[in-house]
């Protein structure tokens, strides 16, 4: 039995869920998101919560049960509070600033890196060494943060580069004579 799948997803104030066939559509103050579940699970909206149950006891049905419940919970979190990833920039002369919808990064290259903000995500640079990526889609927020980090991932000798806030970078010792 799925420990995750058993728990119903509570809908906070201002959030509504609607089920059409196998598609769950969740509306909240930040927007609308939907997810289409497989035919291995049943979805129900009852008394301010969404519950998921498997159809049968096959291995696939049990796998989809917990995964579908997690996806619905992420939809509810996204439309009510949203998701946020924070990045830190470390290195001499490394900085970031927003100009309109373009994130301009100075990362030690001979040119500035221009990163266009994709639809559905907001990027802010409260300080020159901080970048905040926010949105209602957890996958998209994480992917955009990973794409920004990819421009200059932290290197192990001096720790320079773009890292997630709170990320530990394993440091190596340099060459010895």
DSSP 6-61: HS-EEPPTT-EEEEETTEEEEEETTEEEEEEPPTTEEEEEETTEEEEEESSS-HHH
CATH superfamily of 3-80: Ribosomal protein L6 (3.90.930.12)
**What is the predicted pLDDT for the residue at 3?**
85
- Per-residue pLDDT for 36 more than 90? yes
Alpha-carbon distance 74 to 141, whole Å? 12
- Per-residue pLDDT for 1 more than 70? no
Alpha-carbon distance 152 to 161, whole Å? 5
Check: CB of residue 75 under 8 Å from CB of residue 33.
yes
Mean pLDDT of 2-20: 90
Mean pLDDT of 63-70: 93
Q: Sorting pLDDT into bands at 50, 70 and 90, what band is 47?
A: confident
Residue 20 half-sphere exposure toward CB, CA atoms < 13 A: 4
Q: Residue 164's closest CA among 177, 145, 147, 151?
A: 145
Q: Are 3-80 and 83-164 the same fold in CATH?
A: yes
- Per-residue pLDDT for 2 more than 90? no
**What is the predicted pLDDT for the residue at 177?**
79
Architecture category of domain 83-164 in CATH: Alpha-Beta Complex (3.90)
Cβ neighbours, 10 Å, residue 61:
18
Q: Where are the domains of the chain?
A: 3-80, 83-164
Alpha-carbon distance 99 to 61, whole Å? 48
State pLDDT tens for residues 119-160. Answer: 999 999 999 999 999 999 999 999 999 999 999 999 999 999
- Per-residue pLDDT for 164 more than 70? yes
**What is the predicted pLDDT for the residue at 67?**
94
State pLDDT tens for residues 83-130. Answer: 999 999 999 999 999 999 999 999 999 999 999 999 999 999 999 999
Share of the chain above pLDDT 90, in %: 90
Alpha-carbon distance 131 to 147, whole Å? 13
Q: Residue 8's closest CA among 59, 170, 127, 17?
A: 17
Cβ neighbours, 10 Å, residue 134:
16
Alpha-carbon distance 71 to 17, whole Å? 13
């Amino acid at each position: 039995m799925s420990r995750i799948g058993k728990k119903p997803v509570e809908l906070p104030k201002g959030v509504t869920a609607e089920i059409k066939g196998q598609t769950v559509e969740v509306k909240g103050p930040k927007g609308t998101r939907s997810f289409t579940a497989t035919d291995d699970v049943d979805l129900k909206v009852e008394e301010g919560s969404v519950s998921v149950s498997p159809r049968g006891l096959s291995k696939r049905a049990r796998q989809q049960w917990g995964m579908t419940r997690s996806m619905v919970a992420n939809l509810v979190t996204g439309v009510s509070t949203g998701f946020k990833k924070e990045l830190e920039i470390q290195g001499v002369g490394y900085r970031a600033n927003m100009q309109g919808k373009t994130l301009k990064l100075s990362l030690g290259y001979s040119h500035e890196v221009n990163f266009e903000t994709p639809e559905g995500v907001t990027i802010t640079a409260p300080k020159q060494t901080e970048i905040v990526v926010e949105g209602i889609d957890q996958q998209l927020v994480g992917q955009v943060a990973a794409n920004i980090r990819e421009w200059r991932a932290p290197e192990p000798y001096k720790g320079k580069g773009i890292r997630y806030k709170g990320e530990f970078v394993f440091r190596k010792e340099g060459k010895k004579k």
